[in-house]
Amino acid sequence: MTINVLIIDDSLSSCRVLSKHFMQLNVDRIEYCSDGQTALRTLTKYKGDYQVIVVDLHMPKMDGIELLIRLSKIGFKGGVIIASGMESRIIEAASQVVVNSRLRLLGALMKPVCASQLKICIERLYMMDVQLVPNKPMMEVKELQEAINCDKVIPYYQAQMDVKTGEIKGFEVLCRIQQGDQLQLISPSRFIDLAEENNLLNTLTDKLITRAMDEWREISRVSACLGSSISINLTPNQLAQRSWPNRLMRYCEDKQLEPSKVTIEITENQVLDKQSQHSSISRLRLHNFGVAIDDFGTGYTNLSQLCKLPISEVKLDMSLVKGIHLDPLAQTILKSLQDISQGLGVDLVAEGVEDIRDLNYLEKIDDLRLQGYLICRPKPFSEIMRWLKAHEKVGCGLV
């Protein structure tokens, strides 16, 4: 849970102000660099030592934009905050440099920066980097195997709604596991990596899809869901397996479900750079499946790649949706995604809508779907059916 911050700014007074704000946020260590060249040497040698860097744009010897480009090339994995006194258009242009690289942009802020802005940036870092968040221990392999064999893999459903009409557009299927007779179900953070490392993920996914498609036949008969679709997650490693498009087609044939009603969400925890991954995406689209890039904005897929992949949907990660009502960076990324999605004819989804102020901002955006706790919490089959009945009674809107 260590968070070390490197502030790169030629103004000592700015460094001191930022340092004071960070100390209020309980970061572990704060250091300064007064120019980009020194910072680059430090981060090249000790890039794993810093979880956050704050970059001014106008600096001697090497400006902030050049520094960001070079940091991308050396593979810096920490979070980046741009803090500058330049005009907003220049800050937005610098943000695009980061968005189009594999850096993780936490914020693009105009000076003077306040503590509340930095707080959102640190919260965003925690959301992007699960290793910084204290988690419950992973399941044991034996426990996971037993849960799979005993049909303890439980689909949960979370609705997506049209921002303007409140119409239900689809449901994401989320995996939960019941351990023994416990009422509290286990979330994916405690078993997905374990399943992948022990060659259990395909079996786990098979169990989830089989049950979800059976339940989906009932969900899809509800009048509010007649035009909606179901979304199922695959990892990049699964996508690289050439068997998955055929496997999904067999599922749809066996369950008498139109592929056009199924979207495959690619979890963005790795780079999608293998030919086999691109081939799987193309084959899925060829057979009318939807393909969504999940968690966009966490650093692996950039805007130019979106234009090259034959996807049907892109989902803005919840780390960028959080606080979007007061964050010019997140607003810029959303606007860029909106322009691209409209140009390519793909759907755009904002994930993690949990703050009414963010919802109020997003409701002003055209051609957008919303997903998050303010819209619908993830629910098992029986509860989502009750939620749908309540939704029908009150009409379109939040329940």
Residue 270: its pLDDT value, please? 62
Q: Which of 132, 154, 186 is the last residue of a domain?
A: 132
User: Could you tell me if 202 and 211 are in contact, meaning their C-beta atoms sit under 8 angstroms apart?
Assistant: no
Q: Which of 132, 160, 187 is the last residue of a domain?
A: 132
Residue 103: its pLDDT value, please? 83
* Pairwise pLDDT comparison (295 vs 256), residue with the higher score: 256
Task: For tokens 């999940």, name the residue.
Answer: 294
Q: Which of 132, 155, 190 is the last residue of a domain?
A: 132
- The answer to whether residues 60 and 173 belong to one domain is no
Residue 397 above 60 pLDDT?
no
Residue 6: its pLDDT value, please? 97
Count CA within 13 A, CB hemisphere, residue 66. Answer: 11
φ, ψ of residue 373 in degrees (nearest 5): -60, -30
In terms of Cβ atoms closer than 10 Å to its own Cβ (0-12, 13-18, 19+), residue 246 is exposed
Kindly report which listed range (31-35, 118-122, 256-260, 323-327) carries the lowest average pLDDT score: 323-327
Residue 274: its pLDDT value, please? 82
Cis peptide before 155 (omega within 30 of 0): no
Place 29 in a pLDDT band, splitting at 50, 70 and 90.
very high
Residue 399 above 70 pLDDT?
no
- The answer to whether residues 85 and 113 belong to one domain is yes
Say which CATH number the domain at 347 has.
Answer: 3.20.20.450
- The answer to whether residues 102 and 169 belong to one domain is no
Please tell me the distance from the alpha carbon of residue 366 to that of residue 214, in angstroms, as a whole number: 34
- Is 399 within a domain? no
pLDDT digits (tens, 9 = 90+) for 317-374: 888 898 898 887 788 888 888 988 899 899 999 999 999 999 999 999 999 999 999 9
pLDDT digits (tens, 9 = 90+) for 300-324: 566 667 788 899 999 998 888 988 9
In terms of Cβ atoms closer than 10 Å to its own Cβ (0-12, 13-18, 19+), residue 70 is middle
- The answer to whether residues 149 and 106 belong to one domain is no
DSSP assignment letter at 186: B
- The answer to whether residues 9 and 123 belong to one domain is yes
Q: What is the mean pLDDT of the chain?
A: 89
Q: Give me 175's structure tokens.
A: 């995996």
pLDDT digits (tens, 9 = 90+) for 45-72: 887 899 999 999 999 889 999 999 999 8
- The answer to whether residues 331 and 199 belong to one domain is yes
Please tell me the distance from the alpha carbon of residue 127 to that of residue 150, in angstroms, as a whole number: 32
Domain that holds residue 87: 4-132
Mean pLDDT of the region 261-274: 80
Name the percent of the chain lying above pLDDT 70: 92
- Is 201 within a domain? yes
Residue 102: its pLDDT value, please? 73
Residue 130: its pLDDT value, please? 57
In terms of Cβ atoms closer than 10 Å to its own Cβ (0-12, 13-18, 19+), residue 256 is exposed
Place 220 in a pLDDT band, splitting at 50, 70 and 90.
very high
Element (H, E) at 266: strand 262-266
Q: Which residues pair with 172 in a beta bridge?
A: 158, 231
Domains of the chain: total: 2
Please tell me the distance from the alpha carbon of residue 172 to that of residue 188, in angstroms, as a whole number: 14
φ, ψ of residue 363 in degrees (nearest 5): -65, -15
- The answer to whether residues 114 and 149 belong to one domain is no
- The answer to whether residues 271 and 390 belong to one domain is yes
Task: For tokens 């992973």, name the residue.
Answer: 138
Instruction: Round the CA-based radius of gyration of the chain to a whole number and report it.
Output: 22
Kindly report which listed range (33-37, 46-50, 205-209) carries the lowest average pLDDT score: 46-50
Say which CATH number the domain at 35 has.
Answer: 3.40.50.2300
